[in-house]
Amino acid sequence: MLYAIEVPEEGGNTLFSNQYLAYEDPDEAIKSELDDLTAVHSNRSILELVGADVF
């Protein structure tokens, strides 16, 4: 289980979603389209925005 040791007084909202459950809902035609897709998740733009120099 992930949990925060220090949290900001404002903001810092995090949302979670169950993608296994989300995949079960669409019909087979949509699932077959999704099967060929790949997602890449990155926080690089946020790190650049805050001026981080190590990625």
pLDDT digits (tens, 9 = 90+) for 21-55: 988 989 999 999 999 899 888 888 888 888 877 65
Question: pTM to 2 decimals?
Answer: 0.41
The secondary structure of 22-51, three-state, reads HHHCCCHHHHHHHHCCCCCCCCHHHHHHCC
Distances from the Cα of 43 to the Cαs of 4, 17, 28, 29, 32, in angstroms? Answer: 18, 18, 32, 32, 28
Using DSSP's 3-state secondary structure scheme, residue 55 falls into: coil
Q: Pick from 51, 17, 19: which is nearest to 37 by CA?
A: 19
pLDDT band at 6 (very low <50, low <70, confident <90, very high): confident
Using DSSP's 3-state secondary structure scheme, residue 7 falls into: coil
With respect to residue 36, please indicate whether it lies within any of the assigned structural domains: yes
With respect to residue 2, please indicate whether it lies within any of the assigned structural domains: no
How many domains does the chain fold into?
Answer: 1
With respect to residue 28, please indicate whether it lies within any of the assigned structural domains: yes
Domain that holds residue 36: 11-55
With respect to residue 5, please indicate whether it lies within any of the assigned structural domains: no
With respect to residue 3, please indicate whether it lies within any of the assigned structural domains: no
